[in-house]
Amino acid sequence: MANLRDIRRRIKSVKNTAQITRAMQLVAAAKMKKAQDQALAGREYADQLNQVLVNLKENVDEESHPLLEKREGNKTLTLVISTDKGLCGGLNTNLLKLVRSEDNGNTTYATVGKKLRLQLEKTGEPIKADFVVDDPLAFSEARPIAKFLTDQFLEGDFDKIKVCFTNFVSTISQLPHVSQLLPIDATTLAEKRDYEGVGKDEIQETDHSSALSKDYEFEPSPEVVLDTLLPQYINFQIYQMILEARASEHSARMVSMKSATDNANNMIDDLTLDYNKLRQAAITAELLEITTAMKAME
Amino acid sequence: MLQLEIVTPEKKIFSDTVSDVYLPGVDGEMGVLELHAALVTALKPGELRYEKDGKVEELAIGSGYAEVTSEKVSVLTDSAFGEDDIDEEVEVAAMQRAEEQLKGVSAADAEEAAHLESVIATNAARLLLKRKSR
């Protein structure tokens, strides 16, 4: 068994670690609250916007807008939204697994967040662009990203634009998720609404109301509405996805830092017990020596 | 009665039943009553009015969309402010800042220019609402 001084030293260093992880836990908790509120608040708007689009799509010709046009090719540009910092559990690893499984061999990447950019660079994947965004995120920061992706699609460089990000479910559960951004497609619209935790009843209700009033009028015209609505939709999708990823990041960090702090505290308890045992043993040994010496002198 | 919902990216501003709604459509103001034909319209920054229990309320909204069905109006907009939430000095400053930026934008960047123009129009709509009530 180690000696007293070694154990004392270890306790001290574990205590330091616990202090750091505890501080990080508190910081992440504060950021988590904000990021979660922001992400949840955006979902309402996203749902409404999706619904308008679903209705709109039923009323216009599929191929009437370049952003809706389905293409045969499989050249894909994938936007990967990861974190800038580590220490957030398996978040980035899980996302990377999904990114790898989505790779069809003809995929180029764009990234938000440093962690997965480095991973993708390491394995030599082509990276077309990297975006840096602030925390907390402003809506205007999503615009250049959306513009870049839209331009890539419209210029015909890529046939599909996908986004991989971590969807926020709850503080203890975040799921990696992939969604097709372009071309915009009615089935993915409905799917996404389902995914983001809207209750089943609500979806049935909207389907019902759109069935009642099929023929929408468009003011000033379907083309004008589509022209302005689709870019706005893409901007907002990007914004919302980054928010989801951020909420996931801070939640995952909070949870993993909490378990790190708990582990450190358990370790300190164990070490303190060892330390006390050892100290007790030393005292007993000393007493024994003294008594034996006294007995010998009698 | 008509269900009115006003939603911005940040939060749900309003959700209640009202008796009528006036929307700032791109082609001019548009009144909506119950049993209106299904309609999707683009909105420009301006004033949204609704009447609830005989009382008229006004909001300054940014650009966006409205989806109208026979029993419901959903308004999606960048921002929506009541008269009390508007600070005149803040709006004037923001408007001047956007105008300065607009001068610096090159003619090629139509999207940025359009964005700034919409910011200015939104500020103008808020100021109009604020000043009208005095």
Q: Is A88 a catalytic residue?
A: yes
Query: How far apart are alpha carbons A165 and A92 in whole angstroms?
Result: 9
Range of the domain at B118: 86-132
Return the percentage of chain A with pLDDT > 90, whole number.
38
Question: Domain check: are B114 and B96 in the same one?
Answer: yes
pLDDT of residue B108: 67
Which residue has better confidence, A19 or B40?
A: A19
Return the percentage of chain B with pLDDT > 90, whole number.
13
Question: Domain check: are B63 and B110 in the same one?
Answer: no
Which chain B residues are within 8 Å of A49, Cβ to Cβ? 65, 76
Question: Domain check: are B66 and B102 in the same one?
Answer: no
Find the closest chain B residue to A236 by CA distance.
B9
Question: Domain check: are B94 and B42 in the same one?
Answer: no
**Section B49-61 average pLDDT:** 89
Tell if the CB–CB gap between A45 and B67 is shorter than 8 Å.
no
| Among candidates B12, B26, B40 on the partner chain, residue whose Cβ is nearest the Cβ of A216 | B40
Distance (Å) from the alpha carbon of A92 to chain B's nearest alpha carbon? 27
Question: Domain check: are B72 and B20 in the same one?
Answer: yes
pLDDT of residue A216: 76
**Section B56-78 average pLDDT:** 88
Which residue has better confidence, A143 or A23?
A: A23
Which residue has better confidence, B69 or A194?
A: B69
Which chain A residues are within 8 Å of B8, Cβ to Cβ? 45
Question: Domain check: are B77 and B94 in the same one?
Answer: no
Q: What is the pLDDT of residues A244-290, one digit of tens each?
A: 999 999 999 999 999 999 999 999 999 999 999 999 999 999 999 99
How sure is the predictor about A195, in pLDDT bands with cuts at 50, 70 and 90?
very low
Tell if the CB–CB gap between A51 and B67 is shorter than 8 Å.
yes
| Among candidates A41, A49, A139 on the partner chain, residue whose Cβ is nearest the Cβ of B76 | A49
Question: Domain check: are B35 and B97 in the same one?
Answer: no
How sure is the predictor about B93, in pLDDT bands with cuts at 50, 70 and 90?
confident
For residue B76, give the CATH number of its domain: 2.60.15.10
Computed on alpha carbons and rounded to an integer, the radius of gyration of chain B in Å comes to: 16
Q: Which range (A47-51, A149-153, A285-289, B94-98) has the least confidence? A: A47-51
Tell if the CB–CB gap between A209 and B26 is shorter than 8 Å.
no
Domain boundary (B62, B81, B100) is at: B81
pLDDT of residue A213: 45
Q: Choosing among A219, A221, A234, which should be mutated to test the B contact, i.e. which has the most B CBs within 10 A?
A: A219
Instruction: Give the number of A-B residue pairs with CB atoms closer than 8 Å.
Output: 76
Question: Domain check: are B56 and B23 in the same one?
Answer: yes
Tokens 């070490």 sit at which residue? A271
The B residues from 59 to 118 touching A (CB cutoff 8 Å) are: 65, 67, 69-70, 72, 74, 76, 111, 115
| Among candidates A42, A216, A217 on the partner chain, residue whose Cβ is nearest the Cβ of B9 | A42
Tally of CB atoms within 10 A around B114 = 13
Question: Domain check: are B97 and B73 in the same one?
Answer: no
Distance (Å) from the alpha carbon of B132 to chain A's nearest alpha carbon? 28
Q: Which residue in A46, A81, A88, A164 is the catalytic one?
A: A88
Q: Which range (A62-76, A178-192, B28-42) has the least confidence? A: A178-192
Whole-number average pLDDT of chain A: 84
**Domain count of the fold of chain B:** 2
pLDDT of residue A190: 58
Write out the H or E segment, with its range, that includes residue B6: strand B2-7
E-only strand ranges, B12-100:
12-18, 20-25, 28-32, 39-43, 46-52, 55-61, 64-68, 72-77, 80-82
Tell if the CB–CB gap between B26 and A147 is shorter than 8 Å.
no
**Section B109-114 average pLDDT:** 74
Question: Domain check: are B41 and B93 in the same one?
Answer: no
A192 pLDDT higher than 60: no
Which residue has better confidence, A68 or A186?
A: A68
Q: Model pTM? A: 0.80
pLDDT of residue A189: 63
Tell if the CB–CB gap between A51 and B40 is shorter than 8 Å.
no
